[in-house]
A and B are shown apart, each in its own frame.
Chain A
Amino acid sequence: MTASHSNPATDTPTAGVARGGEPQPPTDWTPDLTPRGGGGTLARLVQFFSSLRLTVVCLALALVVVFVGTLAQVEIGLYAAQMKYFRSLFVYWQVPGTPMRIPVMPGGYLVGGVLLINLICAHARRFGFRRDKLGLLLVHVGLILLLLGQLATDLLSVESAMRLTEGQSKSYSEDQRHSELAILETTAADANQVVTIPESVLARKQELRLPQLPFTIKLHAYWPNSTSVPPAAVTGPSLATQGLGVRTQFRQAPLETRMDRRNVPTAYVELMTPTGSLGTWAASLWFDPPQPVSYEGRTFELALRPVRYYRPVSLELMKFSHDKYMGTEIPKNFSSRVRLRQPETGENREVLIYMNNPLRYGGETFYQSGYDERDPRVTILQVVRNPSWLTPYFSCTLVGVGLGVQFLTHLVGFVKRKRA
């Protein structure tokens, strides 16, 4: 992209000069489209989006965003820096002591998006689909695919973790960053009916009337990160009137920014029925077991837990091996022998997952990710679903082929001219 745009002397001969006997279209970098009739504003818009200056500005801004975002990782961690600088339209500065946020520079999505539009417009206006520009076309398509693929990865990929103890079988993995309020009701001997409410809905603190539940959920508080209040520091009654939160109180805590730590959210939810309130519960990631709620002879369970991703296949950990170098605590190798069961297809087989040898199944990849220092029978598998994982390969192939074609086109033309 940069090569083709930054070398106008090569790719944009003076308008009207014939090359190889064919008339060339005018391909000035900043043509005035207005005289071609109608739509002056639109034409100016197109002109703006296809200008080389915009490309240069975007690339310069991308450099700045990458530089500042990389430095910011030192202070706020990788994940937070990615969200603030790269996965955003604007980078905001919060005025100290106020909730006011002022945009101070464009974010990665804005720069990438404008660059994408710029690339498409510039190519469509200047080169079109000409045979002698096939190489450039392929290069540009490859770059566009790379940008779109990265955007798709950002938006569509899901990463989670599956923690298994030897002998345990699971058909779900858990998100390591996001939580959900889950209300479960046992509807069969081996199954629960589950209603899950994501953090984004909890944060709105609205009353939720859901057809699946006989009560209304009223959010009194939602703290994305919380810490427990030591008994000695408790100054008043708990917001909770039922469940574990009556005895254990929480307070809001600053959001975690480090990659190796997670936020521990707490929500205070009141369950309202037509006949009155059932009480207020503290649902928190600090609590492990779900809390029982009884109403009209039905028993529900309430839990704030990591977001779960269920799948039709289950994995049972048969054996976890964790070898260390003799006499040290340095991991040498760790591997998980799991049994994969897919009831729908009857598939039932053993799989060995170890470092650099993940299990790929159903569009997901299960990597050997970690272990529990406190329990040698526990494995931690990272589960990644990335529908666009092939796009970088296609992109690079297209760019490579495009560069080759462009080089050969020039070479052949040069040889022909020399022979003539």
Chain B
Amino acid sequence: MLWTFAGKSNATRGALGALLLTLLLTSCDRGKIQSYQAPKDPAAPPAQGAAAAGMTAPAQIRWDVPSGWQELPATQMRVGSFTVTGENDQKAQVTVIPLAGQAGGDFENVNRWRTQVGQPRFTEAEMEKAAEPVETGAGRAQMYDFAGVPLEEERPTRLLAAILHREGTAWFFKMVGDDLLVAGQKAAFVEFLKSVRFEAVASVAASGGASPGEDPAAAAQAAASTAATPAPWSVPAGWQPTAAGTMQAAKWIIGGGGGGSEQGQAEATVVMLPGDAGGRLANINRWRGQVGLGPVAEEELGGLLMPLRVGGPESYAVDLVSPETQRRMLAAAVATSGQTWFFKLVGDAAVVGREKEAFTKLVASFNHP
């Protein structure tokens, strides 16, 4: 008999060996902090639409409003809002909402819409089957058409909704209202979708793109909203207009007479954002950081705020100056219906001090739409 080593000791060794091996393998841990040198990320080639158009600057959303649609003011989330009225008091609402990223995913959004019209959830396969592709001017959107009677309602409701993914932002176009009216407006809704496009803005094109601290959805919201709004203010004499940045409605450079050096300059900007744009405390602390001051707590805000006679009661203004950096900022947040207009003058403390009166007049001249 060859190779025989059967017996207690070998069996024991075998069992212990197997146990040890199992424990050894299962105790592997890949979750460790690492430090290494890596090549810089290569710049991604520009998106197809922009590449084809030869553009490098961010673009604003545009559309053609179908006849019979009445435009409503933009709100916190909606960059586009319309109402459609039909016979017998039939009504429908149209909204355009951009959200960063996948915004919860198409599947969940589609099923949420189905729930809204009292329909059961779709499976992925059913969703794919129901999708109607629509070629917009900014790429292909998937449109869905659901009808039903929502809970606690008696009238049949129809919902047309389309999702367009573009450069990390999901754009939601939705029409919801009385079944017959929405069904009759479907062709107009499709035409509306087809007319959606993103166009470069002349003033933006020279600015070199978004600053790293801006998120694309908010930039898109701001850009979309500012696109339709004229600039209702009086520019102080001596302020040189210059190319506005991504989210800016206007920008001026004010020289300090110091030979054009950055130290002797200030710049003024106007930015419009939906809602309160993050809130008073966050905004003021961000501005404080920009002039070299530390953040303050909510209870300390009272001592910083200055009264503002323009805009709604939520409007506020601050005057921030850092003795260390010799930078100063005058900022006024003018709250209008669903929007906040930010007027800022920032730069060398001496120049800002000299231009304070002109800046005050600029803000006072603002006649918001």
Which A residues lie at the B interface, using CB under 8 A?
A: 22, 25, 33, 36, 39, 42-43, 45-46, 49-50, 109, 113, 116-117, 120-121, 123-131, 148, 151-152, 155-156, 165-172, 186-188, 190-201, 208, 210, 212, 227-228, 230-232, 234, 237-238, 241-244, 246-248, 260-261, 264, 276, 279, 286-292, 308, 310, 373-377
Contacts and interface: CB of A to CB of B under 8 A. Distances in A.
Contacts of A374: 139-140, 165-166
Contact of B15 (A33, A46, A279, A288): A46
A46 B12 contact: yes
Contacts of B99: 228
B307 interface: no
A246 B278 contact: yes
Contacts of B364: none
Nearest to B166: A374
Interface stretch (B33-41, B321-329, B352-360): B33-41
Interface string B28-67: 1111111111111010110110000000000000000000
B232 interface: no
Contacts of B105: 261
Given A129-B5, A172-B38, A237-B281, A198 B33 contact: yes
Contact of A131 (B2, B30, B76): B2
**Which bucket holds chain B's interface residue count?**
35 or more
A91 B6 CA distance: 36
B77 A230 contact: yes
A290 B28 CA distance: 31
Nearest to A243: B213
B7 interface: yes
Given A192-B38, A192-B40, A42 B19 contact: no
4 smallest A-B Cβ distances: which pairs?
A129-B3, A128-B6, A200-B31, A247-B278
Given A208-B33, A237-B298, A232 B76 contact: yes
Contact of B295 (A39, A168, A279, A291): A279
Secondary structure of the A contact surface, majority rule: mixed
A247 B215 contact: yes
B47 A193 contact: no
B10 interface: yes
Contacts of A237: 279, 281-282, 298
A246 B215 CA distance: 11
Interface of B: 1-8, 10-15, 17-19, 21-22, 25-26, 28-40, 42, 44-45, 47-48, 76-77, 99-105, 107, 124, 139-140, 165-166, 168, 212-216, 218, 274-275, 277-279, 281-282, 285-286, 289, 294-295, 298
A46 B140 CA distance: 66
Contact of A127 (B6, B17, B28, B165): B6
B25 A116 contact: no
Contact of A194 (B5, B36, B218): B36
Contact of A124 (B11, B28, B48, B282): B11
A274 to B, nearest CB: 15
B167 to A, nearest CB: 9
Nearest to A167: B45
B14 A120 contact: yes
Given A117-B19, A124-B14, A193-B35, A231 B212 contact: no
Given A168-B45, A244-B213, A195 B35 contact: yes
B198 to A, nearest CB: 14
Contacts of A120: 14-15, 17-18
Given A193-B35, A201-B31, A238 B1 contact: no
Contacts of B21: 148
A116 B45 contact: no
A264 B101 contact: yes
